[in-house]
Amino acid sequence: MSIDLTALGRAARAAARQLARLSTEQKNSALHAIADALSAQHDSIMRANAEDLNAAKASGMNPALLDRLSLEGRLMSIANDVRSVAALPDPVGEVIEARTLPNGMHLERRRVPIGVLGVIYEARPNVTVDVSALALKAGNAVILRGGKETLNSNRALVNAIRGALEAHKLPAEAVQFIDSADRQYVAELLRLDRYVDMIIPRGGAALHEFCRQNSTIPVITGGIGICHLYVDASADQAASIEVIYNAKTQRPSVCNALDTLLVNSQIAADFLPRMAARLREGGVTFRADPRALRILNPTGDAPDVLPAGENDWDTEWLSLILGVRVVDTLDEALEHIAQHGTAHSDGILTNDAANAERFVQEVDSAAVYVNASTRFTDGGQFGLGAEVAVSTQKLHGRGPMGLRELTTYKWIVRGNYHVRA
């Protein structure tokens, strides 16, 4: 069946105009209705998700992506996240600044919806709900294009969302779904600039690059995280090991999970064996540089410690694999992150305030941590409710993109029949 993306875009644009004039109460009521619909349709949504999971397993999908695809034990939490978005302050209509000019004209800069978002993502059906909720609260319509692996799940979720909107006499067209795995529609969506105001890809590097090269619409990229922690010589070693354990094992398949550990050479001989023993409890295996290898696998017979390969420092593992490198100085750690990082989430474990401040100043990432796990880079954890993406760009939005990042502003000028001299 052919999909007319121009018709979808036109309908989304019309819906966005209606959303822009809704009150906060109307939007919140709709969000609660969506959360209730997800709960009420739990069984049918889970059946659809099971179809996707079974097909993905049969195709040989790796465990990390299977974990992202699964809604098992998560759907009620996703519904509660929608309620959390409803509880957030509404940014639309906020006056950012106001002033009166010498000629008597009054100016104000007011926060307004962006309009229509196009979101392209892969095997994460929770994105369908998170993006829809945030877009609606910020007064935006959205066109969703999920991956082929999650087609049944997304269809069931979108049906629940649109049904809730219709029940509240709001335009169901505010949430559009490209119900096809055909990649031609990705290319078409990227050129729908007459109707779509922003493209947000959530997936691997190949998807991001394709969008950057082919879109006639502004693109917000991010979500690819090669995340680092540097253990300074002054760090509390026992506490650092627990932070590393959390950053690597709490949910290894996500973009803010730890990929590379850098350890100062002054403490490496004592610290690395203790760290490895703890992380082995979580099933972690290691890719070590020569100096770390001599400490972690001195006899060469440890099957879970392998030499780091040529591309390992540039790999987002999305699994229970950790790269380990010994460095002599903070400078060396900073240089490694500059060369191999993706500007997502990087941190230092230290009791040296000067080293912490230098790390914060010099690491050019969307989220920089001092003595904390990288796993906190998340809209919910940052108090934003949910997120549409974690942007690693510098313009418009950076880091977890919540409600405010889904708005722009307009200048409103009030005069008394003023004319320019």
In a structure prediction context, what are the per-residue pLDDT tens digits for the chain, which is 421 residues long? 789 999 999 999 999 999 999 999 999 999 999 999 999 999 999 999 999 999 999 999 888 788 889 999 999 999 998 999 999 999 999 999 999 999 999 999 999 999 999 999 988 899 999 999 999 999 999 999 999 999 999 999 999 999 999 999 999 999 999 999 899 999 999 999 999 999 999 877 788 889 999 999 999 987 688 999 999 999 999 999 999 999 999 999 889 999 999 999 999 999 999 999 999 999 999 999 999 999 999 988 899 999 999 899 999 998 999 999 999 999 999 999 999 999 999 999 999 999 999 999 999 999 999 999 999 998 878 887 777 888 888 888 888 888 999 999 999 999 999 999 8
Domain assignment of residue 394, yes or no: no
Alpha helices in 250-369 (DSSP H): 265-280, 290-296, 330-340, 353-362
Q: Please, is 103 exposed, middle or buried when counting C-beta atoms within 10 Å of its C-beta (0-12, 13-18, 19+)?
A: exposed
Domain assignment of residue 384, yes or no: no
DSSP summary character for residue 222: B
Say if residue 242 is in the same domain as residue 159.
no
Domain assignment of residue 396, yes or no: no
**What is the pTM for the complete model shown?**
0.84
Say if residue 129 is in the same domain as residue 58.
yes
**DSSP-assigned beta bridge partners for residue 231:** 263, 349
User: CATH number, domain at 35?
Assistant: 3.40.605.10
Say if residue 338 is in the same domain as residue 294.
yes
Domain that holds residue 79: 5-220+401-414
Say if residue 173 is in the same domain as residue 234.
no
Say if residue 149 is in the same domain as residue 279.
no
Say if residue 318 is in the same domain as residue 335.
yes
Domain count, the chain: 2
Q: Are 408 and 91 in contact (CB under 8 A)?
A: no
CA distance 337 to 393: 17
Provide long-range contacts, Cβ within 8 A and 24+ apart, for 182-188: 185/3, 185/5, 185/145, 186/120, 186/145, 186/210, 187/214, 188/5
Say if residue 146 is in the same domain as residue 272.
no
